[in-house]
Amino acid sequence: MNHKILISIVLSSLLSVAYAAGNPTAPHPSPLSVNVMPQGKLNSSVPYQNCFSNSIWIVPPNTLLAYTYDNATFTPVTDQTVWVFSNYNQGYFFGQSYTAIDLSTLSQKYLIGSVASDGQVYITFYSGTSASTDLVSGIGTLNVQSTGQCYFTMQMNSGQNGVSGLTHWSYMIPITPSDSYYNNLPGTNMSLPDFLAQF
């Protein structure tokens, strides 16, 4: 009798092991046990801090195209946007954005953004006054080439009252006074200082 009980227990255990082997269940680790960042890269500012030493960024000629929308009407436009960063701290960056749509509609906003350790970027653009509550959002990546040069790849969307707005994907590249685009800002027929003087 004892042998039959023992055999039953052994068989039951073997069946349980066999079932578990054929039906594995993914573990659910605690968030604290997940290694979400590679060792040695715990500070997201390390790979990207140098990108912000050039604080002026512009839309290059090949990605000036954007689209405005108003109800069901979509219109191609030229969108030159200039970012001027004022500060960078451990993956967070701050500054102002200056946008000209077809050189006729001008907009200046403040910006605050973050770049994660894998280069993913999120930026919020806001007016800085209580008169306007419209927020513009941008998502993208900050890319660092083997030469150390940096550029953004961004998707931007703005909307007013759910009826009209603008969408634009673009590269953003840094420039300095020694670059040709400084004196001939793409899409504007003017220099960068003259462009900023409009705002």
Mean pLDDT to the nearest integer, 72-93: 96
- Of residues 47 and 7, the one with the higher pLDDT is 47
pLDDT of residue 130: 63
Task: Express each pLDDT in 114-144 by its tens digit.
Answer: 999 999 999 999 987 766 667 899 999 999 9
pLDDT at 100 over 50: yes
Mean pLDDT to the nearest integer, 84-101: 96
CA atoms within 13 A on the CB side of 31: 0
Region for residue 90 given its phi and psi (left: phi exceeds 0; alpha: psi -120 to 50; beta: otherwise): left
pLDDT at 179 over 70: yes
Assess contact for 85 and 57: CB atoms under 8 A. yes
Count the neighbouring beta carbons within 10 Å of the beta carbon of residue 180.
Answer: 8
Instruction: Give the global pTM.
Output: 0.76
Task: Express each pLDDT in 148-158 by its tens digit.
Answer: 899 999 999 98
- Of residues 198 and 4, the one with the higher pLDDT is 198
Count the neighbouring beta carbons within 10 Å of the beta carbon of residue 127.
Answer: 15
Q: Which range is least confidently modeled, 28-32, 46-50, 116-120?
A: 28-32
pLDDT at 61 over 50: yes
Architecture of the CATH domain 46-196: Beta Barrel (2.40)
Cα–Cα–Cα angle for 103, 138, 49, rounded to 5 degrees: 105
3-state SS, 55-77, equals: CEEECCHHHCEEEEEECCEEEEE
